[in-house]
Protein backbone atom coordinates (compact mmCIF):
# COMPACT_ATOMS: atom_id res chain seq x y z
CA UNK A 1 0.00 0.00 0.00
CA UNK A 2 1.32 3.42 -0.95
CA UNK A 3 2.48 5.72 1.86
CA UNK A 4 0.65 9.02 2.33
CA UNK A 5 2.85 11.75 0.81
CA UNK A 6 2.07 14.40 3.42
CA UNK A 7 2.73 11.92 6.21
CA UNK A 8 5.99 10.88 4.58
CA UNK A 9 7.12 14.50 4.36
CA UNK A 10 6.49 14.99 8.07
CA UNK A 11 8.42 11.81 8.83
CA UNK A 12 11.37 12.91 6.70
CA UNK A 13 11.42 16.43 8.15
CA UNK A 14 11.38 14.93 11.64
CA UNK A 15 14.61 13.00 11.03
CA UNK A 16 17.09 14.64 13.38
CA UNK A 17 20.20 13.76 11.39
CA UNK A 18 18.84 14.73 7.98
CA UNK A 19 21.67 16.23 5.91
CA UNK A 20 22.20 19.96 6.35
CA UNK A 21 24.37 22.19 4.22
CA UNK A 22 27.66 23.08 5.89
CA UNK A 23 27.46 26.45 7.63
CA UNK A 24 29.55 28.31 5.05
CA UNK A 25 27.57 27.00 2.08
CA UNK A 26 24.29 27.75 3.84
CA UNK A 27 25.34 31.35 4.57
CA UNK A 28 26.50 31.88 1.00
CA UNK A 29 23.14 30.68 -0.32
CA UNK A 30 21.45 33.04 2.14
CA UNK A 31 23.36 36.14 1.02
CA UNK A 32 23.60 35.24 -2.66
CA UNK A 33 20.87 37.54 -3.90
CA UNK A 34 21.66 40.54 -1.73
CA UNK A 35 22.95 43.55 -3.70
CA UNK A 36 25.02 44.46 -0.64
CA UNK A 37 27.05 41.25 -0.84
CA UNK A 38 30.64 41.85 -1.91
CA UNK A 39 33.48 39.60 -3.03
CA UNK A 40 35.16 40.32 0.29
CA UNK A 41 32.07 39.10 2.18
CA UNK A 42 31.96 35.84 0.24
CA UNK A 43 35.71 35.30 0.40
CA UNK A 44 35.67 35.87 4.13
CA UNK A 45 32.95 33.26 4.59
CA UNK A 46 34.73 30.61 2.53
CA UNK A 47 38.03 31.27 4.24
CA UNK A 48 36.44 30.42 7.59
CA UNK A 49 36.56 26.78 6.51
CA UNK A 50 40.11 25.80 5.57
CA UNK A 51 39.13 22.39 4.20
CA UNK A 52 36.47 23.94 1.98
CA UNK A 53 38.87 26.66 0.86
CA UNK A 54 41.35 24.03 -0.25
CA UNK A 55 38.71 22.09 -2.19
CA UNK A 56 37.38 25.20 -3.92
CA UNK A 57 40.85 26.35 -4.99
CA UNK A 58 41.68 22.84 -6.19
CA UNK A 59 38.58 22.87 -8.38
CA UNK A 60 39.18 26.40 -9.62
CA UNK A 61 42.71 25.70 -10.87
CA UNK A 62 41.77 22.38 -12.45
CA UNK A 63 41.71 21.94 -16.21
CA UNK A 64 37.91 21.86 -16.01
CA UNK A 65 37.80 25.61 -15.38
CA UNK A 66 40.85 26.47 -17.42
CA UNK A 67 42.82 28.56 -14.93
CA UNK A 68 45.66 26.23 -13.91
CA UNK A 69 47.90 27.72 -11.19
CA UNK A 70 46.81 31.31 -11.88
CA UNK A 71 44.37 31.66 -8.98
CA UNK A 72 45.79 31.34 -5.48
CA UNK A 73 43.17 32.95 -3.22
CA UNK A 74 39.40 32.79 -2.88
CA UNK A 75 39.03 36.54 -3.45
CA UNK A 76 41.05 36.26 -6.65
CA UNK A 77 38.83 33.38 -7.76
CA UNK A 78 35.72 35.51 -7.21
CA UNK A 79 37.19 38.41 -9.20
CA UNK A 80 38.22 36.15 -12.11
CA UNK A 81 35.32 33.68 -12.21
CA UNK A 82 32.51 35.77 -10.74
CA UNK A 83 30.47 35.35 -7.60
CA UNK A 84 27.86 33.00 -9.09
CA UNK A 85 30.40 30.47 -10.36
CA UNK A 86 32.31 30.42 -7.07
CA UNK A 87 29.04 30.09 -5.13
CA UNK A 88 28.13 27.07 -7.22
CA UNK A 89 31.59 25.55 -6.79
CA UNK A 90 31.13 25.88 -3.02
CA UNK A 91 27.74 24.16 -3.23
CA UNK A 92 29.21 21.37 -5.36
CA UNK A 93 32.14 20.78 -3.03
CA UNK A 94 29.89 20.90 0.04
CA UNK A 95 27.32 18.42 -1.24
CA UNK A 96 30.06 15.89 -2.05
CA UNK A 97 30.81 15.74 1.67
CA UNK A 98 27.29 14.88 2.79
CA UNK A 99 27.49 11.15 2.10
CA UNK A 100 31.20 10.56 2.65
CA UNK A 101 31.77 7.26 4.41
CA UNK A 102 28.20 6.07 3.94
CA UNK A 103 27.47 2.70 2.44
CA UNK A 104 24.37 1.06 1.06
CA UNK A 105 23.06 -2.24 -0.19
CA UNK A 106 20.41 -0.48 -2.27
CA UNK A 107 22.40 2.16 -4.16
CA UNK A 108 26.01 2.13 -5.30
CA UNK A 109 26.86 5.50 -3.74
CA UNK A 110 30.06 6.03 -5.74
CA UNK A 111 28.36 5.29 -9.07
CA UNK A 112 25.43 7.44 -7.98
CA UNK A 113 27.74 10.43 -7.49
CA UNK A 114 29.49 9.70 -10.80
CA UNK A 115 26.12 9.83 -12.53
CA UNK A 116 25.21 13.07 -10.74
CA UNK A 117 28.50 14.63 -11.80
CA UNK A 118 28.01 13.55 -15.40
CA UNK A 119 24.51 15.00 -15.31
CA UNK A 120 25.88 18.27 -13.91
CA UNK A 121 28.32 18.63 -16.80
CA UNK A 122 25.75 17.58 -19.41
CA UNK A 123 23.15 19.98 -17.98
CA UNK A 124 25.67 22.80 -18.25
CA UNK A 125 26.31 21.93 -21.90
CA UNK A 126 22.59 21.92 -22.71
CA UNK A 127 22.03 25.18 -20.80
CA UNK A 128 24.52 26.94 -23.08
CA UNK A 129 22.35 25.93 -26.03
CA UNK A 130 19.10 26.99 -24.37
CA UNK A 131 20.26 30.47 -23.42
CA UNK A 132 17.12 32.42 -22.41
CA UNK A 133 18.86 33.88 -19.36
CA UNK A 134 19.67 30.44 -17.92
CA UNK A 135 23.10 30.41 -16.26
CA UNK A 136 25.05 27.25 -17.24
CA UNK A 137 26.71 27.25 -13.81
CA UNK A 138 23.30 27.06 -12.16
CA UNK A 139 22.34 24.17 -14.43
CA UNK A 140 25.55 22.42 -13.34
CA UNK A 141 24.42 22.51 -9.69
CA UNK A 142 20.88 21.49 -10.70
CA UNK A 143 22.29 18.42 -12.41
CA UNK A 144 24.49 17.75 -9.41
CA UNK A 145 21.51 17.72 -7.02
CA UNK A 146 18.74 16.36 -9.24
CA UNK A 147 18.61 12.87 -7.70
CA UNK A 148 19.51 13.68 -4.11
CA UNK A 149 16.08 12.47 -2.98
CA UNK A 150 17.26 8.93 -3.73
CA UNK A 151 20.01 9.36 -1.14
CA UNK A 152 17.43 10.41 1.45
CA UNK A 153 15.32 7.35 0.67
CA UNK A 154 18.36 5.09 0.78
CA UNK A 155 19.99 6.44 3.94
CA UNK A 156 17.00 7.46 6.07
CA UNK A 157 14.07 5.31 4.94
CA UNK A 158 15.80 1.99 4.19
CA UNK A 159 12.90 -0.21 5.31
CA UNK A 160 10.44 1.68 3.14
CA UNK A 161 12.86 1.77 0.20
CA UNK A 162 13.74 -1.93 0.15
CA UNK A 163 10.37 -2.91 -1.44
CA UNK A 164 10.95 -0.21 -4.07
CA UNK A 165 14.23 -1.80 -5.11
CA UNK A 166 12.58 -5.23 -5.14
CA UNK A 167 9.73 -3.91 -7.32
CA UNK A 168 12.26 -2.39 -9.72
CA UNK A 169 14.18 -5.66 -9.96
CA UNK A 170 11.15 -7.92 -10.39
CA UNK A 171 9.37 -5.70 -12.90
CA UNK A 172 12.49 -4.39 -14.67
CA UNK A 173 11.15 -0.85 -14.47
CA UNK A 174 12.55 2.58 -13.84
CA UNK A 175 13.26 3.43 -10.22
CA UNK A 176 10.95 6.45 -10.29
CA UNK A 177 8.02 4.29 -11.42
CA UNK A 178 8.79 1.77 -8.69
CA UNK A 179 8.82 4.57 -6.10
CA UNK A 180 5.45 5.80 -7.33
CA UNK A 181 3.92 2.32 -7.34
CA UNK A 182 5.19 1.27 -3.92
CA UNK A 183 5.30 4.56 -2.00
CA UNK A 184 2.92 6.83 -3.87
CA UNK A 185 5.57 9.53 -4.33
CA UNK A 186 9.09 9.64 -5.68
CA UNK A 187 12.63 10.97 -5.19
CA UNK A 188 11.83 14.25 -6.94
CA UNK A 189 9.36 15.15 -4.19
CA UNK A 190 11.76 14.13 -1.43
CA UNK A 191 14.59 16.08 -3.07
CA UNK A 192 12.30 19.10 -3.34
CA UNK A 193 11.43 18.96 0.36
CA UNK A 194 15.12 18.90 1.22
CA UNK A 195 15.95 21.72 -1.21
CA UNK A 196 13.25 23.86 0.38
CA UNK A 197 14.61 23.02 3.82
CA UNK A 198 18.05 24.15 2.64
CA UNK A 199 16.46 27.33 1.19
CA UNK A 200 18.07 26.74 -2.19
CA UNK A 201 17.29 29.13 -5.07
CA UNK A 202 14.03 28.52 -6.94
CA UNK A 203 15.78 27.34 -10.10
CA UNK A 204 17.50 24.51 -8.24
CA UNK A 205 14.25 23.49 -6.56
CA UNK A 206 12.57 23.40 -9.98
CA UNK A 207 15.39 21.31 -11.47
CA UNK A 208 15.03 18.74 -8.70
CA UNK A 209 11.22 18.66 -8.80
CA UNK A 210 10.69 18.62 -12.56
CA UNK A 211 13.74 17.02 -14.16
CA UNK A 212 11.60 14.12 -15.37
CA UNK A 213 8.70 16.31 -16.56
CA UNK A 214 10.11 19.75 -17.40
CA UNK A 215 7.00 20.73 -19.35
CA UNK A 216 5.09 20.66 -16.04
CA UNK A 217 7.25 23.39 -14.49
CA UNK A 218 5.50 26.77 -14.29
CA UNK A 219 8.71 28.72 -13.71
CA UNK A 220 12.39 28.12 -14.52
CA UNK A 221 11.32 25.60 -17.18
CA UNK A 222 14.61 25.95 -19.05
CA UNK A 223 16.48 24.82 -15.93
CA UNK A 224 14.30 21.72 -15.63
CA UNK A 225 14.71 21.03 -19.36
CA UNK A 226 18.50 21.31 -19.21
CA UNK A 227 18.72 18.85 -16.32
CA UNK A 228 16.16 16.52 -17.93
CA UNK A 229 18.21 16.24 -21.11
CA UNK A 230 21.51 16.22 -19.22
CA UNK A 231 20.31 13.28 -17.13
CA UNK A 232 19.38 11.20 -20.15
CA UNK A 233 22.54 12.04 -22.13
CA UNK A 234 24.59 10.94 -19.11
CA UNK A 235 22.70 7.67 -18.92
CA UNK A 236 23.18 7.19 -22.66
CA UNK A 237 26.97 7.10 -22.38
CA UNK A 238 26.93 5.07 -19.17
CA UNK A 239 28.47 7.50 -16.69
CA UNK A 240 27.90 6.08 -13.21
CA UNK A 241 24.47 4.81 -12.26
CA UNK A 242 21.51 6.60 -10.71
CA UNK A 243 19.72 3.39 -9.82
CA UNK A 244 18.13 2.50 -13.16
CA UNK A 245 18.90 -0.33 -15.56
CA UNK A 246 17.32 1.34 -18.59
CA UNK A 247 17.24 4.76 -20.23
CA UNK A 248 14.00 6.77 -20.53
CA UNK A 249 13.28 8.78 -23.65
CA UNK A 250 13.71 12.53 -23.76
CA UNK A 251 10.29 14.16 -23.47
CA UNK A 252 9.11 14.98 -27.00
CA UNK A 253 7.65 18.45 -26.20
CA UNK A 254 11.05 19.52 -24.84
CA UNK A 255 12.84 18.51 -28.03
CA UNK A 256 10.34 20.43 -30.13
CA UNK A 257 10.14 23.52 -27.95
CA UNK A 258 13.90 24.02 -27.83
CA UNK A 259 14.63 22.78 -31.37
CA UNK A 260 16.92 19.95 -30.35
CA UNK A 261 17.53 17.57 -33.21
CA UNK A 262 19.59 14.39 -33.42
CA UNK A 263 22.68 16.32 -34.52
CA UNK A 264 22.49 18.54 -31.42
CA UNK A 265 22.18 15.53 -29.13
CA UNK A 266 25.12 13.81 -30.82
CA UNK A 267 27.27 16.92 -30.54
CA UNK A 268 26.30 17.28 -26.88
CA UNK A 269 27.38 13.71 -26.16
CA UNK A 270 30.71 14.36 -27.85
CA UNK A 271 31.21 17.53 -25.80
CA UNK A 272 30.19 15.69 -22.63
CA UNK A 273 32.80 13.01 -23.21
CA UNK A 274 35.46 15.71 -23.73
CA UNK A 275 34.45 17.60 -20.58
CA UNK A 276 34.42 14.44 -18.49
CA UNK A 277 38.07 13.88 -19.37
CA UNK A 278 38.85 17.27 -17.80
CA UNK A 279 36.75 16.57 -14.70
CA UNK A 280 39.10 14.19 -12.91
CA UNK A 281 39.36 16.61 -9.98
CA UNK A 282 35.66 16.13 -9.26
CA UNK A 283 36.03 12.36 -9.29
CA UNK A 284 38.87 12.76 -6.81
CA UNK A 285 36.41 14.48 -4.45
CA UNK A 286 34.14 11.43 -4.71
CA UNK A 287 36.95 9.04 -3.90
CA UNK A 288 38.77 10.95 -1.15
* pLDDT tens-digit series, residues 134-148: 899 999 999 999 999
* pLDDT tens-digit series, residues 256-279: 988 899 999 999 999 999 999 888
Q: 187 in helix, strand or coil? A: helix
Give the angle subtended at the CA of 90 by the CAs of 94 and 80, to the nearest 5°. 160
Is pLDDT at 1 greater than 60 in this prediction? no
* pLDDT tens-digit series, residues 96-118: 777 666 667 788 888 998 999 99
Q: Which of 30-39, 51-60, 104-113 has the highest mean pLDDT?
A: 51-60
Q: Tell which CATH architecture fits domain 103-288.
A: Orthogonal Bundle (1.10)
Q: What local confidence, expressed as pLDDT, does residue 245 receive?
A: 87
Q: Where in the chain is the domain with CATH 1.10.3210.10?
A: 103-288
Give pairs for 69-76: CB < 8 Å, separation 24+: 73/43, 74/42, 74/43, 74/46, 74/47, 75/39, 75/40, 75/43
Q: 134 in helix, strand or coil? A: coil
Amino acid sequence: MAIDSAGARKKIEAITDLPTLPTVASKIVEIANSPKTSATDVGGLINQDQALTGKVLKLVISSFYGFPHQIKTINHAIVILGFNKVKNIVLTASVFELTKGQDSKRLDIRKFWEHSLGCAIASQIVAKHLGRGLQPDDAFVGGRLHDFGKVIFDQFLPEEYAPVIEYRNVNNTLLRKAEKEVLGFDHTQVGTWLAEKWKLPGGLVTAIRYHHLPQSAREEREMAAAVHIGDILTRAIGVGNGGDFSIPAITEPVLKQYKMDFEFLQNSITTLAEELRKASVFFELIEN
